[in-house]
Amino acid sequence: MSDFIIRVDGDDLFFSASHFITFEGGGCESLHGHDFHVAAEVHGPLNPSQYVLDFIILREIVKGILQELDHRVLVPRDHPRIDLRTIDKELEVALGARRWVLPKDDCLLLPVSNTTSEMLAQYLAGRICEGLSGRNISLPKGIRVEVRESGGFTAIYRHGGNE
C-alpha cells in the first residue's frame, strides 16, 4: 500500500517560551527563551477523497497547541530531581540548590522529564494525535514533528510511518 506525507510549516507556526535544560551529573542551564519554530508531518494512505488529511485541519490543531505554549515558562513536570510546589499564585521550582519562584499563571507544566527540543517535539506529536482523535479523525500511520529552537538547531521526533 502506498504511503503519502503531508506537511505543515511556515512563519506562523512558532511559539515564544522560556525554559531551562538539566544535564547528566546535576548541571542546569540558566532560564532563557527561544522562538521555537515547528513543522509537522502526517504519514498515511490516501482516503477515499484522495488525500491523507486536510492541511487546514492539521494547521489548526498545531496552531492551537502552540498558542497554549506561547509566552510561557515551560517546566518539566516529570523530572526526577525537580521539586514543584504551588504557593498561592506562585510556582516554586527547585533543583538542588537552585530555586525559581514564578507566577503560576505564566508557567506550563509539561508531562516531560526535561524541556529539551527533543522532548518538546515528542510532546507536540502526542498532542497532535489527541487533536486528531478529538475531531474523530483516525490516527495517522506515522507522525513527524520538528522543533527548531534557533540558529539551525532542530530536533525531530518520528513515530510510526516510514522510519
Instruction: Say how far apart CA 20 and CA 40 lie, in whole Å.
Output: 24
Is 24 in a helix, a strand, or coil? coil
Instruction: Say how far apart CA 110 and CA 108 lie, in whole Å.
Output: 6
Q: Given this model, what pLDDT does residue 138 score?
A: 86
For the entire predicted model, the pTM comes to 0.94
Q: Given this model, what pLDDT does residue 161 score?
A: 65
Q: Which three cell numbers stand for residue 144?
A: 513527524
Show Cβ contacts of residue 10 under 8 Å, excluding neighbours closer than 6 positions: none
Instruction: Say how far apart CA 152 and CA 137 lie, in whole Å.
Output: 33
Q: Given this model, what pLDDT does residue 54 score?
A: 95
Q: Which three cell numbers stand for residue 146?
A: 520538528
Residues 98-124 have pLDDT tens digits of: 999 999 999 999 999 999 999 999 999
Domains annotated for the chain, with CATH where assigned, are: 4-77+112-160 (3.30.479.10)
Instruction: Say how far apart CA 35 and CA 131 lie, in whole Å.
Output: 23
Instruction: Say how far apart CA 90 and CA 10 lie, in whole Å.
Output: 35
Q: Which three cell numbers stand for residue 75?
A: 517546566
Instruction: Say how far apart CA 133 and CA 127 lie, in whole Å.
Output: 10
Q: Given this model, what pLDDT does residue 1 score?
A: 60
Instruction: Say how far apart CA 62 and CA 101 lie, in whole Å.
Output: 30
CA nearest to 73, candidates 117, 105, 114, 39:
105
- With beta carbons less than 8 A apart as the criterion, state whether 91 and 104 touch: yes
Q: Given this model, what pLDDT does residue 25 score?
A: 83
- Parts of the chain with a pLDDT under 70: 1, 161-163
Q: Please spell the DSSP secondary structure of 113-159, one letter per residue.
A: SS--HHHHHHHHHHHHHHHHHHTT-PPPSEEEEEEEEETTEEEEEEE
Q: Given this model, what pLDDT does residue 152 score?
A: 86
Is 97 in a helix, a strand, or coil? coil
